[in-house]
Chain A
Amino acid sequence: MSKLIVSLSPHVHGGDSVQKNMYGVCIALVPALLASLWFFGLGAAIVLATSVLACVFFEWAIAKFLLKTNRCTICDGSAILTGLLLGFNLPSNLPIWIIIIGALVAIGVGKMTFGGLGCNPFNPALVGRVFLLISFPVQMTSWPVPGQLTAVGADAVTGATPLALISAGQLDKLPETTDLLFGQVGGSLGEVSALALLLGLAFMLWRKIITWHIPVSILGTVAVFTGILYLIDPTTFVNPLTHLLTGGMMLGACYMATDYVTSPMTKKGQIIYSICIGFLTVVIRLWGAYPEGMSFAILIMNAFTPLINTYCKPKRFGEVVRKEAAK
């Protein structure tokens, strides 16, 4: 018999792993992936494949040649997830070289500079997306009209997105709510079909990958805030449902804001964080220069996460009694 092992308790483990969670989110993104392929065809496939491959490659290359670690981090699925989310945030006609730059910024600047998985203060996919949005505003804001299955790159016919219409005040041209739900609208790859994204959310909640707190609080805040505005003046403000179903709202609330690394640790903190995201998103959408505010709102709140973690402590056991005793 070989040597016995001694260690401190607990001696069993629940079997959860980083991989399970990361690939779980990837699986949850499958309906949205299929929807994007359905609406944007080949263009979507090229964008997503490039984005995922580039992210995985950069993660591997940086870990191996710059950080010189032997640990293989590409198997944990986080780079694949970043790639997928980055791809979902891009229009389907984006040139490949821009996507690769985005992946480099997402992985290189957004993640590996801070020490890799678990250390990044900002959501890497959003860092990549916002970098591209600021650097290549024209390419990043011309969205192809859905249904052009074989159109690639510059061939695709582009059109205005619902959010651009809202921003421009052309509320009468907005598509039907059912189209918004199923995705028959222009936009980034992953944000067109709200239904597919909600399916993925249900999967993540079922597998306990995330809790309801962040998505529900963000969507709730947006609904309440825009609802109040809609009640005040229905002619200038669109109804809350349209706000919830357009743009990156669903994608951001369910997949980007819920990123483990950059969201607060306690339930209380998560709710504060989510409410602020919802509020900022609406403010940027309605009064900001950009038609969409989700990514900026999430990045801003990512910066506040350490502060929220410092001040939002979970409710300690016995705290209630402690307070009573103090009285």
Chain B
Amino acid sequence: MKTFRLGGVHPAENKLSAGSPIREAALPKQAVFSMFQHIGAPAKPVVQKGDVVKVGTLLGEAGGFVSAPIYSSVSGKVAKVDAALDASGTRRLAVYVDVEGDEWEESIDRSTELVKLSERPELDAKTIVEKIKNAGIVGMGGATFPCHVKLCPPPGCKAECVIINAVECEPYLTADHRLMLEHADEILEGVELIMKAVDVTRGYVGIENNKPDAIALMQEKAQSHPNIEIVPLKVKYPQGGEKQLIDAVIGRQVPAPPAIPINVGAVVQNVGTAFAIYQAVMKNKPLIDRVITVTGKSVKNPSNLMARLGTPFQQLIDECGGLPEDTGKIIGGGPMMGKALMSLEVPMTKGSSGLLIMNKKEARRSEPDPCIRCAKCVSACPMGLEPYLLASVSAQHDWETAENNDIVSCIECGSCQFTCPSRRPLLDNIRLGKSTVMGIIRSRAAAAKK
């Protein structure tokens, strides 16, 4: 069975909510839409206090090419446009909407009937990309990179295949798994749309084999899509990393930055993104809701919720049995790459794939021991780096050595720290080094331009 070649670890899966079907989350009383829900330029608010909005009304327009518009997921009145604490842990510009009723924009088709691409021959690549761009779709796996940018290859690059990331290698999370079980047809139509948008005839859906039901269902449904191949993959973290997935599925390795996946002819999109693309193109529905897994060992009912963006996390956890007594850490996303949250007032964003509650015992890291140079981090690194070295030179602020040892290639997957027997904060220090070195490289490039 296929998998990526270098490194990797096997965290305990803990997919507690795999058996719970997706259910609609209740509407919040007040929804908060951060203008920073994607990588790139923030969206610019186009509403003011007092404006009446419906579901699907534009709240913020894209702030540039690498940016995405933001739509209201609720109907009601704009309460204020002000800074709000978001998942990044900082206060940034957001639009607050007081919810009244649930009124949708007429343009959105709310029927659940499947629309096939073959029924809509008038859709050409340009229209599809335009629709995706206008719907504000970003990478839904957590990276939140604006989707249309990936679908517009830079000059000189030509996509050869589309790879759909249905790996969900993060422990605990089951949102993509459930989405595949419940919306397989729509996802495959979404894949067809992406393939048409980048003009390729080959599509792959990579699924780890810890989801045999999803693989079986997708394979069955894919029989009517001869261009799409379902690729079962051996379970290994971080298979959901873009570069690792390309290596696993088509056996090509993306070179070190600044190379991007399109340089090896691959366009990678998350399975949730494919679903959102289907909805955007066929149903005219902008990105206003997504599936989120609310889970944790102490959570009463670990569930998968279809929740409107902007819903505070507090409400989502209330729907799953409330915040447990022994909560020690709240994580937005999965346990390997998610971000610890300061408070539950943080609203859900386009990239929120999970809400993980850890109890006190799990939450605290053990005290680090000295590095015993066991080289387990070197074996675990999926990028072929030397985490022990990068971490120690970063802690000593030796940026030059860090740069010479390819610190910028680090994908921050956390495999090194996960595997370290001395429980050293390797990734903490590597992040410090990586961000500093990237700053140095940027300023050097800026100086060279002058």
For B4, give the chain A residue with the smallest CB separation: A317
29 A-B residue contacts at CB 8 Å? A5-B340, A5-B363, A7-B340, A8-B425, A10-B336, A11-B362, A12-B335, A12-B418, A13-B366, A13-B417, A13-B423, A14-B9, A14-B418, A17-B366, A17-B369, A117-B372, A118-B370, A265-B388, A266-B375, A266-B378, A314-B378, A314-B381, A316-B406, A317-B6, A317-B254, A317-B384, A318-B256, A318-B259, A321-B252
* A-B contacts besides A21-B372, A325-B255, 6 pairs, CB < 8 Å: A4-B341, A11-B340, A21-B374, A317-B383, A319-B253, A321-B254
Most B CB contacts (10 A, CB to CB) among A5, A117, A211, A321 go to A5
A117 to B383, CA, bound (A): 28
Residues of chain A contacted by B366 (CB below 8 angstroms): 13, 17
Report the nearest A residue to B253, measured CB to CB.
Answer: A318
In the complex, B200 has a CB within 8 A of chain A: no
- Which 8 A/B pairs are nearest by Cβ-Cβ distance? A10-B414, A118-B370, A318-B255, A260-B374, A6-B340, A316-B384, A16-B421, A318-B253
Chain A residues in contact with chain B, CB under 8 A?
Answer: 1-2, 4-14, 16-18, 20-21, 76, 78, 116-119, 211, 260-267, 270, 309, 313-322, 325
Given A9-B427, A116-B370, A318-B254, A4–B342 Cβ distance below 8 Å? yes
What separation, in Å, do the CA atoms of A325 and B405 have in the docked complex? 20
Known: A11-B358, A12-B335. A76 touches B9 (CB 8 A): no
Query: Chain A's interface: helix, strand, loop or mixed, by majority?
Result: loop
Chain B 168-184: CB-based contact to A (< 8 A → 1; otherwise 0): 00010000000000000
Contact across chains for B329 and A1 when beta carbons are under 8 A apart: no
B89 and chain A: residue at smallest CB distance? A6
- Do B419 and A16 touch (CB < 8 A)? yes
Taken together as a complex, chains A and B put the C-alpha atoms of A20 and B372 apart, in Å, by: 13
Given contacts A18-B421, A76-B369, is CB(A315)–CB(B329) below 8 Å? no
Q: List residues of chain B with CB within 8 A of the CB of A8.
A: 340, 425, 427-428, 431
What is the distance, in angstroms, from B390's C-beta to the closest C-beta of chain A? 12
Q: How many Å lie between the Cα of A2 and that of B325 in the bound state?
A: 10
| A9 x B337 contact (CB < 8 A) | yes
Tell me if B369 and A117 are in contact (CB < 8 A).
Answer: yes
Residue numbers in B under 8 Å from A265 (CB-CB): 373, 375, 378, 386, 388-389
Q: Which residues of A contact B420 (CB under 8 A)?
A: 13, 16
B327, B373, B409, B417: which has the most chain A beta carbons within 10 Å? Answer: B373
